[in-house]
Amino acid sequence: MDPEALSAALLSVIVPLTQERGSDAADGLTTADLPLERPRNRDHGDWASNAALKLAKTVGMPPRELAAVIADKLRAIEGIAEVEVAGPGFINIRLDTATAGALAKTIVEAGAAFGVNDTQRGNTINLEFVSANPTGPMHIGHTRWAALGDAIARLLLASGATLVREFYINDAGAQMDRFGRSVLAAAKGEPTPEDGYAGAYIDELARRVLAAHPDLLEADDAERVARDAAYGLQLSELQSSLEKFNVHFDVWFSERVLHAKGADGGPSLVDEAVDRLREQGHVFDQDDAVWVRTTDFGDDKDRVIRRSNGEYTYFAADAAYYLNKGDRGFAHKIYLLGADHHGYVHRLKALAGAAGDDPDTDIEVLIGQLVSVNGAKLSKRAGNIIELDDLRDWIGTDALRYSLARYPADSPLTLDPEILRKRTNDNPVFYVQYAHARTHNVSRNAHSSGVDRSRFAPELLDHATESALLGALQEFPRLVAFAAELREPHRIARYLEELAGLYHRWYDNCRVIPLGDDPVGDLHHTRLWLNDATGQVLRNGLDLLGVSAPERM
């Protein structure tokens, strides 16, 4: 009996009970309204409910008295071994051993699908993250958002959402012109322009551009050629770096698309954005400029969308891009932005309101805090950043991704590579991966000793460490849904560490393989199910973080 089934049993008791007392307290009540908690002290049972405390007033009974009535009816339900009332009206529930143990088989048979849920079904989401400028390598800040963004995407997809991972390529505007001038200057052997980009990577790009365009220096449009050729090369490097980091994007959206004229020279998407916002009634003209009244939606000031000289602002591209996401069918937009983008939160939410959407439900803007690495050296190529590729080569993809996903996005983070490179329990990712590898080692040795999954007697899983392990395994689907709802992958990482600890304690106390010449019994076969179930959940959880689950270490 999983938490959902237990909540359903609780609901089946509460609805008729309240109706008998002439109360409408249970009208419209669902299992989601009756969440169960895992007691910190396992002596208090497997699950606890505060339903009596929540419903007592509307039912017209003291909480403890209502809890006693609910408890009495729950005791009659098959699979529930014991129900107690505690404190002011908490209901503590203990499942019978066979019911609790049956979960092991359920997990093994579900395989990779265990943890998949439908709590986000019906949500169509555009998740934009990283979106590094294609004018240089990706740095450590982009690395954090790559790990977090991809993990959030995996959680939402596992929870039933329709989702696209999107990278916005900021490939229009002044920074691209500076980039082109920088590459051309390097190709000519000239100093970097005062406002340009410096670093060995620019020299490398210049050499590659010259190799592809030998007549570059004589071309009339040398700056454009240098810019576009270097842009293509640098974008390809960004894409390669992310793929090597196990981060895949479904859509690479070019900002140039927003500024391109339509068919037959028609208006661009940016042109259309101004008109569409004006139709919503939040655009006004002042001082020969066009403004959006974003203060109507909590922004600290109104925003210019087109200057008096006719040029569009960055806000115009933001507006066109936001509207385009809606046009592509995405009802919900999530933006993951760096620590220096706090000002964008109100601006983008106000933009959603000006577009006719609900700023509270149709858009989310998540801000990530700074991350640093002890002992990290600045990039030899870029000169002023710590590159993703260097970090990956140094620390490893798994350790880097796991560590970046292990903490809330809004907390500053300092990584210690010395710990992350250790093959000891001090290294959290090693600790979890080692637990997974151990489950495979146990399974291999068990099969060699004649222990397989041909028999299953869940009522035999009555050791205290088995009860604790099964309780944690039972939590996984609900935790996946909760982490997806909150956009918090770190909850999965911390859960995996707890699960690994419970598994190691079980391993130390409960044998899957008989000692010496002892015969193989039903308990050994059943424990192999529990072992393999734990390995499956560890594997599923690591996959949600984009981290591998090695079978040998």
- pLDDT-derived band at 188, boundaries 50, 70, 90: very high
Question: What's residue 379's pLDDT?
Answer: 64
CB 120, CB 484: distance < 8 Å:
yes
Instruction: Check if the beta carbon of residue 363 is closer than 8 Å to that of residue 348.
Output: yes
Pairing of strands 289-292, 303-306: antiparallel
> Alpha carbon of 217 to those of 186, 206, 284, 400, 538: distances in Å?
11, 11, 47, 42, 57
pTM (2 d.p.):
0.90
Instruction: Concatenate the DSSP letters of all residues of 436-484 into one string.
Output: HHHHHHHHHHHHHTT--SS---GGG--SHHHHHHHHHHHHHHHHHHHHH
Task: Read off the tokens for 525.
Answer: 């076969």
Whether residue 144 has pLDDT greater than 70: yes
Question: What domains are there in the chain, each with its CATH number?
Answer: 3-95 (3.30.1360.70), 101-115+422-544 (1.10.730.10), 124-171+248-371 (3.40.50.620), 174-244 (no CATH)
> Dmax of the chain from CA atoms?
93
User: Smallest Cα–Cα separation from 192: which of 179, 208, 175?
Assistant: 179
The pairing of beta strand 80-86 with beta strand 371-373 = unpaired
Residues 6+ apart with CB under 8 A from 402: 428, 429, 432, 493, 542, 545, 547
Tokens 């007549």 sit on residue? 215
Q: Rounded to whole angstroms, what are the CA distances from 308 to 273, 279, 295, 311, 343?
A: 17, 21, 21, 7, 24
Distance CA 135, CA 131 (A): 12
CA distance to 14, 96, 474, 529, per residue, from 102 (Å): 26, 10, 11, 10
CA-to-CA distance for 284 and 526, rounded, in angstroms? 72
Return the H-helix or E-strand segment holding 49. Answer: strand 47-49
- Over residues 258-280, the pLDDT tens digits come to 999 988 889 999 999 999 999 99
- Predicted pLDDT at 99: 86
At which residue do the structure tokens 């419209």 appear?
28
Rounded Cα distance, 28 and 92, in Å: 24
Distance from C-alpha of 384 to C-alpha of 378, rounded to nearest angstrom = 6
pLDDT by residue (tens digit) across 331-362?
999 999 988 787 888 899 999 999 999 999 99
Q: How far apart are CA 402 and CA 435, in angstroms?
A: 15
Find the range with the poorest average confidence among 179-188, 232-241, 384-393, 445-454: 384-393
What pLDDT is attached to residue 357?
A: 95
**pLDDT at site 35:** 84
Q: Tell me: pLDDT of 375 over 90.
A: no
% residues pLDDT > 70 (the chain): 99
Q: Contact at 8 Å (CB) between 199 and 136?
A: yes
Q: What is the CA radius of gyration of the chain?
A: 29
- The token duo for 553 is 């270490």
Rounded distance, CA 451 to CA 532, Å?
12
Q: Per residue in 251-280, is it b (16+ CB within 10 Å) or e — as a string?
A: eebbbebbbeeeeeeeebbbbbbbebbbee
> Are the beta carbons of 469 and 104 closer than 8 angstroms?
no
- Asked if 351 and 292 count as a contact pair (C-beta separation under 8 A), the reply is yes
Q: What are the pLDDT digits (tens) for 106-117?
A: 999 999 999 999
- Using the predicted structure, report yes or no on whether residue 250 has a pLDDT greater than 90: yes
pLDDT higher than threshold 80 for residue 2: no
242 and 169 Cβ atoms separated by less than 8 Å: no
pLDDT of residue 84: 93
Phi, psi of 533 (to 5 degrees): -65, -40
| Contact between residue 531 and residue 538 where contact means Cβ atoms under 8 Å apart | no
Q: Counting every residue, how long is the chain?
A: 553
Instruction: Report pLDDT for 495.
Output: 98
pLDDT over threshold 80, residue 411: yes
Residue position matching structure tokens 């990956």: 392
* Higher local confidence (pLDDT), 90 or 45: 90
User: What pLDDT score does 181 carry?
Assistant: 97
State the pLDDT confidence band at 378, using cuts at 50, 70 and 90.
Answer: low
Query: What crossing angle do the helices spanning 200-212 and 222-244 adopt, rounded to 10°?
Result: 120
Determine the pLDDT at residue 490.
Answer: 97
Amino acid identity, residue 281?
G
**Token digits for 115?**
């943890």
- Report the amino acid identity of residue 226: A
Confidence class of residue 382 from pLDDT cuts 50, 70 and 90? low
pLDDT mean over 490-517: 96
Structural element, H or E, at residue 399? helix 397-405
Question: Considering the chain, what percentage of its residues have pLDDT values greater than 90?
Answer: 78
Spatial distance between the Cα atoms of 144 and 441, rounded to a whole number of angstroms: 33
Report CA torsion sign: 193, 195, 196, 199: positive
pLDDT at 341: 81
E strands along 216-256, which residues?
251-254
How are beta strands 363-367 and 332-337 bridged, if at all?
parallel
Lowest mean pLDDT among 88-92, 231-235, 376-380: 376-380
Query: What is the rounded average pLDDT of the residues 281-292?
Result: 94
Amino acid, single-letter form, for residue 54: K
Predicted confidence (pLDDT) per residue in 203-223, tens digit? 999 999 999 999 999 999 999
Specify the 3-state DSSP secondary structure of 351.
Answer: helix
pLDDT-based confidence at 30, cuts 50/70/90? confident
Other beta carbons within 10 angstroms of residue 216's beta carbon come to: 21
State the pairing for strand pair 162-169/124-128: parallel
Pairwise pLDDT comparison (153 vs 390), residue with the higher score:
153
Q: What are the tokens at 550?
A: 């090695």
Q: CA torsion angle for 209, 215, 218, 224 (degrees, to 10)?
A: -40
pLDDT digits (tens, 9 = 90+) for 43-82: 778 889 999 999 888 888 899 999 999 999 999 998 899 9
pLDDT in tens, 9-26: 999 999 888 888 888 777
